[in-house]
Amino acid sequence: MSKKVQFGVMLHGPGGHMNAWRSADVPSDASVNFEHYKNITLKAEDAGFSFIFVADGLFINDKSIPHFLSRFEPLTLLGALAPITSHIGLVATVSTSYSEPFTIARQLATVDMMSGGRAGWNVVTSPLEGSAKNFSKDKHPEHSLRYDIADEHLSVVQGLWDSWEDDAFIRNKESGQYFDKDKMHELNYEGEFFKISGPLNIERSPQGQPIIFQAGASPKGSAFAARNADAVFTHAGTLEKAQKTYADLRKQAADNGRNPDEIKVFPTLQPIVGKDEQEVRERYEYIKNLVTVEEALAYLGRYFDHHDFTQYDVDAPFPELGDIGKNSFQSTTDDIKARAKENNMTLREVALEETTRESPFMGTYEEVADQIIEWIENNGADGFVLTPHILGDFFHDFIDKVVPILVEKGYYDTSYEGKTLRDELGLPFKENRYSK
């Protein structure tokens, strides 16, 4: 049986909750603890998860989420995980605003080769202004320009990935022929932002090219995803919203001449599960109590490019912010502003809710399994990126208690579809543009 629902797991140290590091079931240094990453990855692989997904950021200050202050660089981490895994996909977040296409193409192709075709790239444009100062730039490019750069960056990387046709390397020891010169291609790209000749100094992997993930959700972000992404990581608080995003991405992909079945949609899934209603409530209360209002204000501020929310009365209605947030996590900040207004929320309520939002996937094991099936059956998702508040019991319980129910109901199986991440996601081998 093939999987009707697929799972990835977001690996960000102790978990998605800003104070996850304080929980007894994770090491306090989880974000730089390789054993922790290894254990989670191997358990996910054992459970047949399709991929691990490593998020990233390029700017910190003393208001940052504690475990963001010291964390592993994603591609280096994948390099270490590649040889100790054999089936699970390895997806890393890398910024198009602050990286060189040639370097990124090489690094991702290396992970792709080392893992036998299991690499993926979460293409992000980097929301935080302060990143510019870490990359010798005077100014952080504004939101729309960042996507223009991303378009060119990605097309250069994908062009470089086709530098060599699949049978270009002969390596015949007897004849002495190492490669076929006709199957080596220069890119000679010249655009508005990049000027790159190529060829890339590494061949293609068994899946042709790494998978492209995308996570931006503004109109420009989803247009970018619909043109380019094999898989999209989305936030959807309700099935209705998920259905809208799902239909919209597929439609936009089709409008771009793509097969809509070749863009897979993975909403985030933050499970809060338990054996009964009481345990679920207790677990939710536990994560709620892990954070103070002051910490929640700093957490909220990060989405708005570290806006200082302590200047407002926390019990007054959520402040009018004008364009603040538009140039950072635009889609997220638009959503926060709209929800605050719609529900007449105070700043305190918004800040606390952001750190520990009630998830639609909150309930007994059986209820959450049914909820997942409902989303899959009703065109809300192709799969989910599991983003547990804490990468300890919340994660283990999901795998040990919810996954077996999905298996029993015929929605999931723990085996793998093929050898590559493309095989696993049901995506075709990426043909080389020159061999077509």
> Which of 107, 207, 218, 356 is in the footprint of ligand FMN by CB under 6 A?
218
Q: Is 143 annotated as a binding residue?
A: yes
Site for ligand FMN in 225-244 (CB under 6 A): 233, 235
Is 297 a residue that touches ligand FMN (CB under 6 A)?
no
- The answer to whether 45 and 399 are in contact (CB under 8 A) is no
Site for ligand FMN in 301-340 (CB under 6 A): 329-332
Is 57 a residue that touches ligand FMN (CB under 6 A)?
yes
Site for ligand FMN in 126-155 (CB under 6 A): 126-127
Q: Is 76 annotated as a binding residue?
A: no
Q: Which residue has the tokens 């054992």?
A: 46
214 Cβ partners below 8 Å, 6+ apart?
122, 123, 221, 224, 225, 228, 229, 231, 232, 233
Other C-beta atoms closer than 10 Å to the C-beta of 161 total 26
Whole-angstrom Cα distance, residue 191 to residue 147? Answer: 14
Whole-angstrom Cα distance, residue 407 to residue 413? Answer: 6
Is 96 a residue that touches ligand FMN (CB under 6 A)?
no
Q: Which is nearer to ligand FMN, 124 or 168 (CB)?
A: 124
**In the complex, least distance from residue 234 CB atom to ligand FMN, rounded to whole angstroms:** 6
Residue with nearest beta carbon to ligand FMN: 221
Q: Which is nearer to ligand FMN, 115 or 126 (CB)?
A: 126
Is 360 a residue that touches ligand FMN (CB under 6 A)?
no
> Which of 221, 271, 360, 388 is in the footprint of ligand FMN by CB under 6 A?
221
Only segment of 217-225, 247-255, 397-405, 422-430 that touches ligand FMN (CB under 6 A): 217-225
404 Cβ partners below 8 Å, 6+ apart?
none
Is 215 a residue that touches ligand FMN (CB under 6 A)?
yes
Q: Which is nearer to ligand FMN, 11 or 202 (CB)?
A: 11
Residues touching ligand FMN: how many (CB under 6 A)?
20
Whole-angstrom Cα distance, residue 75 to residue 371? Answer: 33
- The answer to whether 22 and 65 are in contact (CB under 8 A) is no
Residue 138: exposed, middle, or buried by beta-carbon count in 10 A (0-12, 13-18, 19+)? exposed
Is 93 a residue that touches ligand FMN (CB under 6 A)?
yes
Only segment of 124-132, 165-173, 308-316, 358-366 that touches ligand FMN (CB under 6 A): 124-132
Q: Is 85 annotated as a binding residue?
A: no
Listed residue (119, 95, 112, 303) closest to 203, CA to CA: 112
**In the complex, least distance from residue 233 CB atom to ligand FMN, rounded to whole angstroms:** 5
Q: Is the dihedral of CA 269, 223, 354, 36 positive or negative?
A: positive
Q: Is the dihedral of CA 417, 420, 424, 426 positive or negative?
A: negative
Beta strands in 156-263 (DSSP E): 169-172, 177-179, 189-190, 195-196, 211-214, 231-234
Q: Which residue has the tokens 């960056």?
A: 153
Whole-angstrom Cα distance, residue 374 to residue 204? Answer: 39
Q: Is 416 annotated as a binding residue?
A: no
According to DSSP, residue 346 is labeled: B
Whole-angstrom Cα distance, residue 24 to residue 383? Answer: 30
- The answer to whether 389 and 290 are in contact (CB under 8 A) is no
> Where would I find the H helices in 134-203?
143-161
Listed residue (192, 177, 232) closest to 427, CA to CA: 232
Is 120 a residue that touches ligand FMN (CB under 6 A)?
no
Only segment of 32-40, 54-62, 162-170, 288-296 that touches ligand FMN (CB under 6 A): 54-62
* Rg, the chain, Cα only: 22
Q: Which is nearer to ligand FMN, 48 or 210 (CB)?
A: 210
**In the complex, least distance from residue 379 CB atom to ligand FMN, rounded to whole angstroms:** 19
Q: Is 182 annotated as a binding residue?
A: no
Window 12-51: contact mask with ligand FMN (x via CB under 6 A): ----------------------------------------
Is 125 a residue that touches ligand FMN (CB under 6 A)?
yes
Only segment of 35-43, 152-160, 209-217, 289-297 that touches ligand FMN (CB under 6 A): 209-217
Residues found near ligand FMN in the complex (CB under 6 A): 55-57, 93, 95, 124-127, 215-218, 221, 233, 235, 329-332
List the binding residues for FMN: 56, 93, 143, 147, 218
